[in-house]
Chain A
Amino acid sequence: MIRLQDASFSYPFHSEPAVKGANLTVAPGEIVLLTGPSGCGKSTMVRMINGLGLHHFRGNLSGQVTVGGRQVSELEAADISTLVGTLFQDPESQFFALDVCDEIAMGHEWRQTPPRETERRIQHVADEFGLNPILDRSILTLSEGQKQKVALASIMSLGPRALILDEPTANLDPESTEALAKTLSALKAKGVAILIVDHRLYWLRGLADKVAVMDKGQIVAQGPFELVDDASLRRRYGLRKSHVVDPRPELLPPELTNGHTISLCNLTYAHGRQEPIFSNVSMDLPMGQVIGLLGANGVGKTTLAMLLTGLNKAEKGYLVIDGQKRKPSELLNRASVILQNTDHQLHMKTVLDEIIASLPREKKPDQKRHALTLLAKYNIAHLAQRHPQSLSGGEKQRLVIACGEAKDPDVLILDEPSSGLDGANMQLIADCAREFAQRGACVLLISHDLELLGTACWCALTLPLKTTTHKEFPHDNKTAAEYHPRKDSRKSQHHDRCPGS
């Protein structure tokens, strides 16, 4: 059982508490969903329960926080972990070992558990979570869903009766999300008290017994799951939809409506000496559309984006742009690729400098105004003078997308842009992607987020792509002129819109 009674928490050197007067109970065999807009204090609440707030962040906790009937403030973090396990958003970041078996054994080895007992517990959780086939595998070769399972098994092998999951579906495809829901349902049936912190709500319908909505450090609403069916409540607190229809069956392959297309022909690529993930495949990416790139974890969606822009070198294959046969690296100058990890993409001293550095040369004379316009569009203008690396995850995500747009590319590739974003910010990203496509660019959206796909995409390509017969250049019966993207017309439209251009 997890119980918070009038619990507040403040971080060192912060006068305002991050969580104020929280009251929440998670009973054995109950799943409680904690949700709310980005920065509302959900993660702090997790840290209050698992002891990290006190022992790692050295903050100030008041009120009562008990786990399994014991006061968190009287226990060490390692002791709390035997009462309540915590699964973070990115399980790989909390792995110490490099193979599955050693990772599960880790906690027991440090607790001086006899080897036979450790082995027994490994076998027990391997049977429970279906890990036997991957027990000797390197964690680096696992899919996101498998990593999630290994992390869960590692936690549960220590025998906690309560579990906290922080954004567990952020990196999972819909099928892995479904599998996770089944695993949690089984744990719930065994009497484990489970607290789930997530922006995505739809997958918890029928699973969560209770919902608590947070805003500005306080629990503002609490009740059964149906509480989040209230559209006005969701709008007020920027929540995601509580019911999402899988849009994938409706998203058909893109149609070539006007001939302005980037064509990828006869692509063959393999990671090292492994089996090829693309074997002689071809596809057309029409300009002016938001195209979803779908497929299970590890099927090669990000790799395809890298191949398209020459960041990975294909064994075989070429692009047709402007009716001309081109190398993929030539597309890179006309493309913006927003990778999953935003930390890697921010280099400058301030948010404003980051945007200015991304602007094309012709915009340099009026760069500050352009940059501020973009920042305002993505709701981060008030952060213009902050260091980019000091922003929150959602703010960084919006900044890197703004940088991508600043380059004014023909192709915008967004790789999981809504991971960890609340409803309002997800909608903002979807709107921006559609608007950018309407201006004539090709937006390629790599995502597992059904809500984002349904909101933003007009069509989709599903991986793995089928092997095609050899395409000759120029393919089909189109002339070179028909392949000419509407770069010039788009530029002129853009210039018309931007005073001073």
Chain B
Amino acid sequence: MQASFISNTNPPGSFPATLDVRTKLFLCVLSSLSAIILSSPLALAPLLAVSALYALSSKNIKKILIAYVVIFLMLGVSTIFIVLLRLVCPELAAMEFRNFLTPFLRIILMLNVVLGLALSSRVQSLLMALKSLRLPSLIYIPTSVMIRFIPTFLNDAKQVLQALKIRGYPLTPRTMFMHPLHSLRVLFVPLVFRALRSSDDLAMAAELKGVGLSNSIVPYRQQTLQSRDLAVSAFAVLLATASFTIQAYHGGFSMGMH
């Protein structure tokens, strides 16, 4: 099962698929740190270009385009609301291009690296990576359970939607608009109860398997990083350093939204 749950196979020649999951997780962490610290579009540009190439090299062009369209739609909706807000209360929302550009670039940067991870990594590899990091059980247990049960949750959601179709109240944009409370009820009641039941079953299984007996686990098989992983990580660090330097010269450091 792939982390994105979109497809079970990697297209031939996918570059991210050749990397270790830990490397891809490292790229995500580094990108998120960069997205928080960098505010200058000039500093974000090289990261953006390389991350776009990285995402495209997963050879899942259609899925990447869908993700971009969704992001553009979300940004479009938020822009409409800002315009409306400006009409009502001009002092609250300043319509400056820069105000939109930096958050947009940050979102796209994160989207690229997350797509690279999600479109090329299997859930089992993610679990193994988490295991080999020897994290404290307080972090490892909830994270791994969350990742492990994403496929189950998606399957539950699919079955709830099927059951709604069978019962004759399919969730369409029209029904959701006309009957929002009813729509929420029929969708979320079964999902919430199913999640509660699954978590109860899992808690019982955990007690019986001795999960949490010790603070950390002893993984029985170790993953080793390849030279390709080290080279990609080193390149990513260099690129991030270059971006920070550009920011220092041209934009100064900022942790804010702009």
Chain A: residues with CB nearer than 8 A to chain B? Answer: 50-52, 55-56, 77-78, 80-82, 85-86, 88, 90, 92-99, 102, 105-115, 118-119, 122, 138, 140, 154, 272-273, 306, 309, 311, 332-333, 335-337, 339, 341, 343-348, 357-358, 389, 403, 407
Contacts and interface: CB of A to CB of B under 8 A. Distances in A.
B148 A97 contact: yes
Contacts of B194: 341, 343-344
A115 B131 CA distance: 13
A78 B210 contact: yes
Contacts of B124: 97-99, 102, 138
A347 B185 CA distance: 7
17 contacts: A93-B205, A96-B145, A96-B205, A98-B1, A110-B209, A111-B214, A112-B218, A115-B218, A138-B1, A272-B7, A339-B163, A339-B166, A343-B193, A344-B156, A344-B159, A347-B189, A403-B167
B151 interface: yes
Given A98-B123, A112-B217, A119-B220, A77 B163 contact: no
A109 B217 contact: yes
Contact of B218 (A50, A113, A341): A113
A93 B206 CA distance: 11
A109 B213 contact: no
Contacts of B91: none
Contacts of A92: 152
A339 B158 CA distance: 12
Contacts of A311: 162, 165-166
A240 B1 CA distance: 39
Contact of A343 (B165, B197, B206): B197
Contacts of A90: 201
Given A78-B211, A344-B159, 17 more contacts: A50-B208, A55-B207, A56-B204, A81-B208, A93-B202, A94-B205, A95-B148, A96-B144, A112-B218, A115-B221, A119-B221, A311-B166, A345-B166, A345-B190, A346-B189, A389-B193, A407-B168
A112 B166 contact: no
B159 A339 contact: yes
A272 B8 CA distance: 9
B211 A344 contact: no
A133 to B, nearest CB: 18
A185 to B, nearest CB: 24
Interface in B127-148: 127-128, 131, 144-145, 148
A48 to B, nearest CB: 14
A344 B190 contact: yes
A341 B128 CA distance: 30
B83 interface: no
Interface string B197-238: 110011111111111111001111110000000000000000
B208 A52 contact: yes
Contacts of B205: 88, 93-96
Nearest to A113: B218
A272 B5 CA distance: 13
A110 B217 contact: yes
B166 A336 contact: yes
A93 B198 contact: yes
B245 interface: no
Given A81-B209, A96-B206, A347-B185, A114 B1 contact: no
A87 to B, nearest CB: 10
Contacts of A346: 189-190, 193
A95 B123 CA distance: 14
A407 B168 CA distance: 10
Given A109-B217, A112-B217, A345-B190, A77 B151 contact: no
Nearest to B131: A109
Contacts of A81: 207-210
A106 B160 contact: no
B18 interface: no
B93 to A, nearest CB: 40
Contacts of A50: 208
A343 B155 CA distance: 13
Contacts of B145: 96
A78 B207 contact: yes
Contacts of B8: 272
B208 A78 contact: yes
B144 to A, nearest CB: 7
Interface string B95-121: 000000000000000000000000000
Given A94-B201, A119-B220, A347-B185, A78 B193 contact: no
A119 to B, nearest CB: 6
B72 to A, nearest CB: 28
A417 B81 CA distance: 50
A140 B1 CA distance: 8
B186 interface: yes
Contacts of B7: 272
B220 A77 contact: no
Nearest to B182: A347
B167 A389 contact: no
Contacts of B209: 78, 81, 94, 96, 106-107, 110, 154
